[in-house]
Structure 1
Amino acid sequence: MCTDGGRVAPDLLPGTGEQPLSDVTVLELGHIIAGPFCSMLLADLGAEVIKVEHPERGDAVRDSSPVGNSSFNYVNRNKLGVSLDLKSEEGRTVFKDLVQQADVLVENFAAGTADRLGVGYDDLSAVNEELVYCSIKGFNPGPYEDFPALDPVAEALSGVMSVTGHADTPPVRSGTSLSDMAASLYGALTIVATIRQRDATGEGQYITVPLFESTVSLMGYWLAYTQAYDETPEPMGASHPGWAPYDVFRSADDEWVFIGPSSDRQWRRLCDALDSDLHKDNRFKTLSGRLENRAVLNDAVQSVCDNFDAEELVARLQEASVPVAPVNDTDDVSSDPHLEATNALSEVRATEGDGDRIQTPRFPARATGFDRVESADPPALGEDTDAVLTALGYDRDQIEHLRREDVV
């Protein structure tokens, strides 16, 4: 385990001893979303994260496309960038020197890849018996474990696609990497719990975190519903089978607004706020009546919304304490006044694109005992290799030798 405050290179990243994971060093063998998002969460809590990439290719999404570049810029903040060729014997030797100083390793290679490279759990626990090794995979060990997996595979298998979209359209995936991020969140939580256990026992552990089972966990109440009521939910758009009106409606200025009163009282408040007497209609007085007449009700509510532009519609319903929100696009979100007031976004360097700096979300939770880590730029490929190796005790000649051999 690390010395010097728990960090291999304590002066290269933001974060101090005030953060809860400031004495933890994490090695990341991650690409795309799942592994990098998991280690980013740990970095946000103060851990030193060293991202290890191949010297030529790097992360699979690095400089790959506008969407790939954007995902890389988001999930790789607050990390040190080290390049190593793990297929070379010298590269694995250097990596094991890093492992000796690490507390955690996160990887999301395809099943079996880490073992083939000689950096699987058995290989590395022999180097550091206190290592917490987290593998994020498509599936837990079982019938599916060797199947190739991507985020949409997990969304399809888990049932998420079956309830997303509309009944008259094909199933759709969510608009973000839901399964990757679900597994990452479970991975980070399990790592923190395992570190606590490791600190008590002195023994490392091997963690597996699956995209499929993690996404199934998000579908838990729909599984319970299906079994309890022998009914399979259908795609529901922005609506909900238990409430009405509960959907998106167009405003007079052609903007979408979500409106969702969840009680009779809120329904009456909605009608009063929008100068409507729909709540007096016998069909709509009770929730059961509104559900039975949902289609007619939605048309009636839409006619009322036709009288207001989005800003006034939202303002009136917020004033009446009725759940409501404009359907923001990402440009709206980046300039949202609440996010600005709560310092929810921070600027980092853009590796590609038109702007030098971009805004990305910060760690959203707050605690009274520590401050969030300030966001640092995602590393260029191998940006911190020399500094990290120097901190490990490699001298200039050794580093230059590794560079000549294309190891770093």
Structure 2
Amino acid sequence: MTRNDDQDPTGQPTDSRADGGPAVGDHHETTEAHRLVPGMLPGADGMPLSDVTVLELGHIIAGPFCSMVLADLGAEVIKVEHPGGGDAVRDSSPTGNSSFNYVNRNKLGMTLDLKSDEGQDVFADLAAEADVLVENFAAGTAERLGVGYDDVLEHNEELVYCSIKGFNAGPYDEYPALDPVAEALSGVMSVTGHPDQPPVRCGTSLADMTASLYGAISVLAALRQRDKTGEGQHLTVPLYESTVALMGYWLAYTQAYDDVPEPIGAGHPNWAPYDVYQSADDEWVFVGPSSQGQWEAMCSALETDLHELAQYASLKDRREHVEALNEDIGELCAEFSASELIERLRGAGVPVAPINDTADVVEDEHLRATDALGPINVAEGEGEQIDVPRYPARSSAFERVENTDPPALGEDTDALLEALGYDDDEVERLHQTGAI
């Protein structure tokens, strides 16, 4: 999510920088390695990005999710927040807290007032040591804060600077942008939901996370290119265009066949039957045979002769009679409990799945068996432990890092300053001035 006003990650106004005391000084020459605080991320040694340090000027979802992916690949991620409150969703509401806890695991936390001269000096030292910077301010805000690409370039010409914005440069680039804005503009909302019902957004932050993933991919490509050229670069990753990319085959369909798709519910017009159906015990189950063999296997498993009817003989026939077919399949599925329906169809090799809610997913036996979820202690409250998704891909060459807890506000500030070469007196003065 990108903010629609001139604010830093805590929601602080980005007016002129406050006058401060004398500059703290250049400390980056004391630190040669990219990883400022080794050993803070369990299992990072030997990971693909174990020698990469990432600065995150991120908030809410888009920026933090991008840097979380990089952290999962072994990068040292330093989340920079304003000392007056931090990320806008930190300790904000149950859903805001949950967003914060998930996307900010495996990071170090540092507070820094970017509107103060001392804060700017510390940021310059951090930027000089970093490999990557990720930010998702509203358009123009980073520049007004003095941490835009051209500003940071003065301290580090090799930096890969990733800006996650609402739009690429063009007619829309100054518009306020949120995840639903991108979903609405991209066409995602137009095909989500059911005909003759109001449009609905996806049930998770689809546009934010899509841009985050494109951001992480682009950062990896830029680091690879830097290996060849020795030069950094500025990446701009937009919510809108990234979400449009997800709609690619529907855009191709509209142009090739001069037709605009309606909302498709849980189904898909290319297959039939292919939808959710209610079982005898009032549970919803997705059933989707995607080949003629699977259709016939489905009918056999459910002890019906529907596949022998002429109107359902071929996929083309079934698509032409999809409304009647769905009624027949609905009546058929209503004869079985959800567990029996799933057992029969899985045994026949037919794609089928229960419609899990989030409580079901947390307890899913497959996710538990594959160690797909890992524990963290939440950032707010009394340290309650929850399980959140880990990096989903597996590699034959490296193991996944273990989850670490999302940082308390400014939790690692002093350790990072020490790594940069600041002595105790300098750190204390920065605390006293409110710069950290």
TM-score, normalised relative to structure 1:
0.98
CA distance in 1 between partners of 2:57 and 2:397 (Å)? 31
Match for residue 277 of structure 1? Answer: 305
Match for residue 201 of structure 1? Answer: 229
Q: Give the one of 178, 192, 211 matched to 1:183.
A: 211
Residue aligned with 1:23, SS: coil
Distance 1:117 1:190, change over 3 A: same
Q: Kindly provide the amino acid, as one letter, of the partner of residue 279 in structure 1.
A: H
Aligned positions of 1:302-381 closer than 5 A: 302-352=330-380, 356-381=384-409
Q: Give the one of 54, 63, 84 matched to 1:56.
A: 84
Residue aligned with 1:359, SS: strand
Is 1:130 matched up with 2:158? yes
Q: Is the 8 A contact 1:270 1:320 kept in 2?
A: yes
Is 1:157 matched up with 2:168? no
CA distance in 2 between partners of 1:74 and 1:278 (Å)? 46
Match for residue 213 of structure 1? Answer: 241
Q: Give the one of 9, 13, 17 matched to 2:45.
A: 17
Match for residue 54 of structure 2? Answer: 26
Q: Is the 8 A contact 1:349 1:378 kept in 2?
A: yes
Q: Which moved more, 1:2-11 or 1:332-341?
A: 2-11
CA distance in 2 between partners of 1:354 and 1:397 (Å)? 32
Residue aligned with 1:265, SS: helix
Q: Is the 8 A contact 2:105 2:403 kept in 1?
A: yes
CA distance in 1 between partners of 2:368 and 2:315 (Å)? 38
- Structure 1 residue 296, shift from structure 2 partner: 1.0
Q: CA RMSD in A?
A: 1.3
- Per-residue CA deviations over 1:231-290 (Å, capped at 9, x if unaligned) read 011100011111111000001111100000111111110011011111112211111221
Match for residue 234 of structure 1? Answer: 262
Q: Is the 8 A contact 1:5 1:17 kept in 2?
A: no
Is 1:85 matched up with 2:138? no
- Structure 1 residue 355, shift from structure 2 partner: 7.3
Match for residue 130 of structure 2? Answer: 102
Q: Kindly provide the amino acid, as one letter, of the partner of residue 317 in structure 2.
A: G
- Per-residue CA deviations over 1:296-320 (Å, capped at 9, x if unaligned) read 1111111111111111111110000
- Structure 1 residue 196, shift from structure 2 partner: 1.0
Q: Which moved more, 1:14-23 or 1:30-39?
A: 14-23
- Structure 1 residue 13, shift from structure 2 partner: 2.2
Is 1:249 matched up with 2:249? no
Q: Kindly provide the amino acid, as one letter, of the partner of residue 159 in structure 2.
A: L
CA distance in 1 between partners of 2:302 and 2:210 (Å)? 39
- Structure 1 residue 82, shift from structure 2 partner: 0.1
CA distance in 2 between partners of 1:382 and 1:154 (Å)? 32
Q: Is the 8 A contact 2:44 2:75 kept in 1?
A: no
Q: Is the 8 A contact 1:77 1:375 kept in 2?
A: yes
Residue aligned with 2:236, SS: strand
Is 1:387 matched up with 2:420? no
CA distance in 2 between partners of 1:142 and 1:165 (Å)? 30
5+ residue gaps, structure 2, are 1-27
Match for residue 102 of structure 2? Answer: 74
- Structure 1 residue 354, shift from structure 2 partner: 8.5
- Per-residue CA deviations over 1:102-136 (Å, capped at 9, x if unaligned) read 00000001111100010000000110010110000
Q: Is the 8 A contact 1:25 1:103 kept in 2?
A: yes
- Structure 1 residue 16, shift from structure 2 partner: 3.1
CA distance in 1 between partners of 2:103 and 2:228 (Å)? 31
Q: Is the 8 A contact 2:41 2:401 kept in 1?
A: no
Runs of 4+ with deviation above 4 angstroms: 1-5
Match for residue 427 of structure 2? Answer: 399
Match for residue 292 of structure 1? Answer: 320
Q: Kindly provide the amino acid, as one letter, of the partner of residue 164 in structure 1.
A: T
CA distance in 1 between partners of 2:382 and 2:267 (Å)? 38
CA distance in 1 between partners of 2:92 and 2:379 (Å)? 11
Question: How many residue pairs are counted as aligned between the two chains?
Answer: 408
Match for residue 263 of structure 1? Answer: 291
Aligned positions of 1:139-154 closer than 5 A: 139-154=167-182
CA distance in 1 between partners of 2:380 and 2:131 (Å)? 32
Distance 1:353 1:395, change over 3 A: closer
CA distance in 1 between partners of 2:361 and 2:187 (Å)? 28
Distance 1:99 1:355, change over 3 A: closer
Q: Is the 8 A contact 1:82 1:384 kept in 2?
A: yes
Q: Kindly provide the amino acid, as one letter, of the partner of residue 95 in structure 2.
A: V
Residue aligned with 2:115, SS: coil
Q: Kindly provide the amino acid, as one letter, of the partner of residue 123 in structure 1.
A: D
CA distance in 1 between partners of 2:49 and 2:146 (Å)? 28
- Per-residue CA deviations over 1:35-65 (Å, capped at 9, x if unaligned) read 0000000000000000000001200110111
Aligned positions of 1:161-176 closer than 5 A: 161-176=189-204
CA distance in 2 between partners of 1:125 and 1:354 (Å)? 41
CA distance in 2 between partners of 1:360 and 1:284 (Å)? 44
Distance 1:193 1:397, change over 3 A: same
CA distance in 2 between partners of 1:199 and 1:300 (Å)? 60
CA distance in 1 between partners of 2:156 and 2:32 (Å)? 18
- Structure 1 residue 351, shift from structure 2 partner: 2.4
CA distance in 1 between partners of 2:341 and 2:34 (Å)? 53
